[in-house]
Amino acid sequence: MNLQGRHLIAPLDLSVAEMEGLFALAERIISAPEDFSDVCKGKLLATLFYEPSTRTRLSFEAAMLRLGGRAFGFSEPSSSSAAKGESIADTIRTIACYADIAVMRHPKEGAALVAAQSSSVPLINAGDGGHFHPTQTLTDLLTIRLERGKLGDITVGLCGDLKFGRTVHSLICAFARYSGVKFVLISPDELRVPEYVRAEMNDFAEVRDLNEALPDLDVLYMTRVQRERFFNEEDYIRLKDSYILNAAKLRNAKPDLMVLHPLPRVNEIATDVDDDPRAFYFRQMKNGMYVRMALIMSLLGKGQF
């Protein structure tokens, strides 16, 4: 299987077999990272971040550096020609002259697709508004796969902002293709999953009470209610504390539950959960770097599987 030259814009851009290939490659990297320390020597990664990021941008840069390549870019639009009104298409045409592969995050939904349509180098969507975040999904699924040995035959609860949560949308679309995946969607009415995501699921239930759903879950995917996605501050304030997970609530959960979170968190997971063996969100971060290494290698034609 060869992903050379492809873009990754939406979670369904990769088939299940291609995702499994990436996970297998990521596991090889985890077991012997030194074997991959110069596979991308001489290659350049551009990071175009029109929106703030800690983990995604740094993990992409770290991934490229660990593969022996180099990374450059901007971390806010004010330091690029976007501030002068340059279009996304012109920006990516410019970047494609200098880099071998590019990663882009943008606050508008569909921005990555617009960029890909003008990009002559592989483009990776690192989040387009409240739409998709496919590499976070690779991170999430790799974390579950490493722990459980397989994906499928699982009950996954997604809690919080399911309307604007791009990590939620991507995860549902990609995960729904595995057999035996049941989704439990836990959110207030105002933050339910959009129609285009709902259409991808075969087996799901929608509830409002986290405590009621918790005992049945194998995975609990917590999300932050994102201030930046709201046009109305009042709505944000009303909904921001809808769901808070703490150690007391976890007493009702399965002993092998996995609590995931794409991070950053604000207060939706209390710090008293951090030391619980069921808290996987910090381990999840490191997996993000490994799976991004696998992805960069593959899109550059250095990691056939």
Partner 1 sequence: MEITSISNGIIIDHIQAGSGLKILDYLNFDTEHGSVALIMNVSSNKHGKKDIIKLENYENVDVNVLGLIDHHATVIYIKNHEIVKKIKLTLPEKVTNVLRCKNPRCITSSESVPHVFNLADAEAGKYQCEYCDNVA
How far apart are the C-alpha atoms of 250 and 47, rounded to whole Å? 38
Nearer to partner 1, 100 or 128 (CB): 128
Tell me the CB-side half-sphere exposure of residue 119, using CA atoms within 13 A: 30
Q: Using CB atoms within 10 A of its CB, is residue 68 exposed (0-12), middle (13-18) or buried (19+)?
A: middle
Contacts of 225 by beta carbon, 8 Å cutoff, 6+ apart: 160, 161, 191, 236, 239, 240, 241, 242, 266, 268
Tokens of 93: 């045409």
Nearer to partner 1, 175 or 281 (CB): 175
Least distance from C-beta 108 to partner 1, angstroms?
4
Nearer to partner 1, 127 or 157 (CB): 127
Nearer to partner 1, 110 or 152 (CB): 110
Q: Footprint of partner 1 on this chain (CB under 8 A)?
A: 87-89, 106-111, 113-114, 128-131, 194-196, 199, 229, 231
Least distance from C-beta 301 to partner 1, angstroms?
28
Tokens of 9: 């814009």
Question: Nearest to residue 204, comparing CAs of 221, 222, 188, 181?
Answer: 181
- The maximal CA–CA distance of the chain, rounded, in angstroms, is 55
- The answer to whether 112 touches 123, Cβ cutoff 8 Å, is yes
Nearer to partner 1, 129 or 303 (CB): 129
Q: What's the CA angle centered on 27, arms 25 and 29, to 5 degrees?
A: 70
Nearer to partner 1, 15 or 87 (CB): 87
